[in-house]
A and B are shown apart, each in its own frame.
Chain A
Amino acid sequence: MPSVHYYCPCLSTSPVPPPPDLESSSYSFHELHTLYFCTEPECMAIRCNRCVSVEVNGYYCPNCLFEVPSASVRAEKNRYGACARNCFQCPSCRNTLVIVASDPPEGSLSASVAAVGITGEPPYFLYCNFCRWDSTEVGITFEKATGLAGQLQKTEETAPDVVEFERLKEHFEPFLRAAPSGGIAHAHSNPITSAASSALSRDISIPGLSKYSALLAGRRGGRNDREKAGTTSKDKEELAEFRSRWETGAGASVAEGEVDWIKHLEDVGEVATIEQRWVGSWTTSMRERDLKPLRIPLHSKKTKRCPQCRHIIIKPEQKSQSVRYKMKLTASNFVPAIAISVPPPVASTKAVDPNAPVTFHAGRTYPFRLAFTNPMYEPTTVTLQVQRAPLLKGRPPFAVSLPSPPFAIAAYAEAWEYEDEDEDMADEDIDALLAGVGSPSGYTQPREVAKPKKPKTVGVLERKANTTVIGGELVIGKEGRGDAKFNLLVTHTYQAEDTAAQEGETEEKSTKTPTSRQAEVKTFSFYIVIDLGVIIPREKEESHRRDSEQMSIS
């Protein structure tokens, strides 16, 4: 399938994207609907999910959908960032567990135990209605059917990982409190995450943390050199070395017992899979029947900011299941949507698999079409410029012809009708437009202008409402091979909304020759990568032709 992806320059120091045949190219290009757009005048740029900075707007449990205040997520009682109500996951299959009473009615199907619910007698237990795991297998039962997390907390409190985490937290508490919350990494509102992120960017050695503290303290005091010297030594003294309560290699004794168990093992199903044990932050038993129910981690709604100017790009509504936004600057509202199609060769009669890559033969010319759809309330004018890949050796494998003069796309209209309003530009107009503006580079010169008998393949082909379809041509060299993939610089110029927007036809005319006086003209350029398909090299083509003698493509 031919594709179009849009460039976000965040991975590079250059505004020009890497050539499409480099590995790094695919990491820099994205689908339009995943991109954002910073509208601040000093930015006016595409942003992606990787470069926006993210803040937590609110937490909620993905199962019971209860919103959890940020304060209580950070509070001691909710140390896992997990649901503190009745939500647990099956340790065996990760399905959500349900709480059931001990006396399911006679003759009921086990699959419907869940539906019976909690009307029966205590003790209650957790049950998986997917794999039939239940918490009595690990000796966990409940006296009440509510507040399960609270009831389990007592047993959890003594678990080694919990104890260790508590001790680590105690150890770092004074240090974190002293750290200025705004100063370290303003991308994160939470002082713990900000400290963690600075820690990650530093060379830390876990056992002796003095190096870490010195570095961080040094950075903290950056504003004042004299003070910095003071705090560095002071903090070094304050933050003592952390000693684990658990001996390194304590897991070894556990392992010894398990060696014995494995020796007598008869069914491999009794061993917990790696995936089942993966979530544990501590050495756990290898036996499947020792797996404990898992807390369900909270999800969050996120506010996203421009990494450059810090303006808000995305701000969701507070309510956990609302899909509305207080602020939403997505690229699809500011940048034309570009769709590509490569018509199948005329001779082909077979049904084409829509997911199969399009193939081209060396030494031939193929037409393709690009549809530009304007999302804005202002008409826009678009100019295209193919980025030439740096030539490593010899001739380029292919060349691309696209209309070089600017072309117009009408404004998006709210009450959009699908009737043919015949807004099509007269053919003479297009020809005039194509002929009038000279093509600067030889190889983007539309060939068909010279041969008026053939139907036009390069130029504006169709205009329908806020979509303009243009034709292009792919000319493959005799030695062509590899992917027919190229970068394209798209520049669109439009008038800012404030002036004369309701003048209909006259407005449409004026955009064709953008010389309007009062209106503020804005220009925005961005790169896309177009993947047309795969070139079949000459030598391969010979055998290919022998295989399919009868369906010749002329």
Chain B
Amino acid sequence: MNFNQPVIPYNKAEFIETDTGNKVSRRATISGPQNIILGGKTIISSGAIIRGDLRRTGPGHAVVISLGRYCVVGEGCVIRPPYKLYRAGFSYFPMKIENHVHIGAGSVVEAATIGNHVQIGKNCIIGKFVIIKDCARIADNTVLPANTIVPALSLFAGVPGRFVEDLPETTQELVEMQTKQYYQRFQPVESE
């Protein structure tokens, strides 16, 4: 329905579309792509940086960052796996982002896990090992310090981010519809 849902146009030449419908901007920096999983119909916007190269030391390859279906990594976002310091050194840990997760432009994410139907606003800092449960929402410009836990269906905002209110019971359907529509509206236009 393109009623008040106008097309979100993108330059066809800029994006690579995968077999599963992921759309990845050529202007995004995808480091260590062999360690990154995109679930399908996920959009990586221009200027985003995804650090799949920051992996635990050891042989073989390992999943560093996994993103589910219908996710959007906004323009200029940085997605970087969290690390821990030890007496002997330090190690990176994998990051898992579930389905229908939108991350607003300019946000930096070092979370451990982000659940389904999570909305993260613009210019947020999501610290190391943060856990965001299903259907939560992080308002624009929020800073979540390392190890913050965000319960399901709650809105966090501020610096440092704090609980503001419970989100409506309809959040899951609402976010699912919005993320699906966003993917449908995200359409190529031929470059001039």
Q: A93-B160, A371-B1, A371-B3 are in contact. Are A62 and B145 (CB under 8 A)?
A: no
Closest partner residue, chain B, to A119 (CB atom): B87
Q: Is the interface of A mostly helix, strand, loop or mixed?
A: mixed
Residue-wise interface mask of B (153-190) relative to A, using a CB-CB cutoff of 8 A (1 in contact, 0 not): 11000001011000011111110000000001000000
A63 and B160: CB pair below 8 A? Answer: no
A-B CB proximity, top 9 nearest: A130-B145, A341-B4, A95-B160, A33-B170, A371-B3, A130-B160, A115-B84, A112-B85, A321-B152
Decide yes or no whether B75 CB sits under 8 A from chain A.
no
Q: Choose, from A324-332, A500-508, A544-552, the stretch at the interface.
A: A324-332
Say yes or no: A108 contacts B149, CB within 8 Å: no
Give the complex CA separation of A14 and B59 in angstroms: 72
Q: Taking the complex as formed, is A94 at the interface, i.e. its CB lies under 8 A from any CB of chain B?
A: yes
With A62-B154, A105-B85, A130-B143 known, 17 other A-B pairs at CB within 8 A are A62-B149, A65-B149, A93-B160, A95-B160, A96-B147, A109-B85, A112-B84, A115-B128, A116-B85, A299-B163, A321-B134, A323-B171, A330-B168, A339-B4, A341-B3, A464-B1, A467-B1
Chain A 313-346 per-residue mask, 1 if CB under 8 angstroms from chain B, else 0: 0101000111101001010100000011100000
A-B contact count (CB 8 A): 88
CA distance A340 to B4 in the complex (A): 7
Q: Given A34-B168, A114-B147, A321-B134, does the pair A332, B173 have CB atoms closer than 8 Å?
A: yes
Contact B151 A65 (CB under 8 A): yes
Would A323 and B153 count as touching, CB distance under 8 A?
Answer: yes
Whether, in the assembled complex, B66 has its beta carbon less than 8 Å from a beta carbon of chain A, the answer is no
Give the chain A neighbours of B1 by CB distance below 8 A.
Answer: 371, 373, 464, 467
Cβ of A210 under 8 Å from chain B: no
> With A and B bound together, what is the CA distance between A239 and B9 in angstroms?
72
Chain A residues with Cβ under 8 A from B134's Cβ?
321, 323
Does B148 belong to the interface (CB within 8 Å)?
yes
Interchain CB contact under 8 A, A418 and B133: no
Interface 0/1 of B127-156, CB less than 8 Å to A: 011000111000000010111110111100
Report chain A residues within 8 Å CB of B85: 105, 108-109, 112, 115-116
Closest approach, in angstroms, between the C-beta of A471 and any C-beta of chain B?
A: 12
A376 close to B (CB within 8 Å): no
Interface size class of A (residues with CB under 8 A): 35 or more
Q: For residue A62, which residues in chain B have a CB less than 8 angstroms away from its CB?
A: 149, 151, 154, 163
In the complex, A361 has a CB within 8 A of chain B: no
Contact B152 A98 (CB under 8 A): no
A369 CB-CB contact with B under 8 Å:
yes
Distance of A325 Cα from B84 Cα, bound (Å): 37
A321 to B136 Cα, complex, angstroms: 11
Question: What are 20 A-to-B residue pairs whose CB atoms are below 8 Å?
Answer: A33-B168, A33-B174, A34-B170, A60-B151, A62-B151, A63-B149, A95-B145, A108-B85, A115-B128, A115-B146, A129-B146, A320-B151, A323-B135, A323-B172, A330-B168, A330-B170, A332-B170, A332-B173, A371-B1, A371-B3
> Closest approach, in angstroms, between the C-beta of B114 and any C-beta of chain A?
13
Interface digits, B73-101 against A, CB 8 Å rule (1 contact, 0 not)?
Answer: 00000000000110100000000000000
- Interface residues, chain B, with chain A CB atoms under 8 Å away: 1, 3-4, 84-85, 87, 117, 128-129, 133-135, 143, 145-149, 151-154, 160, 162-163, 168-174, 184
Q: Tell which of A65, A96, A115, A373 has the most Cβ of chain B within 10 Å.
A: A115
C-alpha spacing A434/B129, complex, angstroms: 61
CA distance A26 to B129 in the complex (A): 41
Asked if A469 is at the interface of the complex by the 8 Å CB criterion, the answer is: yes
The reply to whether B151 and A321 contact each other, CB–CB distance below 8 Å, is: yes
Residues on A with C-beta less than 8 A from B3 are: 339, 341, 369, 371, 467, 469
Contact status of A299 and B135, CB under 8 A, knowing A105-B87, A325-B169: no
CA distance A196 to B133 in the complex (A): 33
Cβ-based interface call for A168 (8 A): no
B136 to chain A, nearest CB (A): 10
Q: Which residue of B lies closest to A104 (CB)?
A: B85
> CA of A96 to CA of B168 in the docked complex: distance in angstroms?
25
- Give the residue of A93, A96, A323, A373 whose beta carbon is less than 8 angstroms from that of B149: A96
Q: B152 touches which one: A33, A322, A330, A340 (CB < 8 A)?
A: A322
Q: How far is the CB of A230 from chain B (nearest CB, A)?
A: 45
Q: Which of A90-121 contact B (CB under 8 A)?
A: 93-96, 98, 105, 108-109, 111-112, 114-116
- Are A114 and B133 in touch, CB under 8 angstroms? no
Q: Are A94 and B162 in contact, CB atoms less than 8 angstroms apart?
A: yes
B50 to chain A, nearest CB (A): 22
Whether B170 contacts A321 by the Cβ 8 Å rule is no
Residues of B within 8 A of A94 (CB): 160, 162
- CB of A64 closer than 8 Å to a CB of B: yes
Using A323-B172, A339-B4 as known contacts, say yes or no to A114 and B154 having CB atoms under 8 A apart: no
Residues of A within 8 A of B153 (CB): 323
Cβ–Cβ contact A96 & B169, under 8 A: no
Q: Which residue of A lies closest to B82 (CB)?
A: A115
**When the two chains form their complex, are residues B147 and A328 in contact, meaning their CB atoms are under 8 A apart?**
no
Among residues of B, the one whose C-beta sits closest to the C-beta of A370 is: B3
B152 to A323, Cβ gap below 8 A? yes
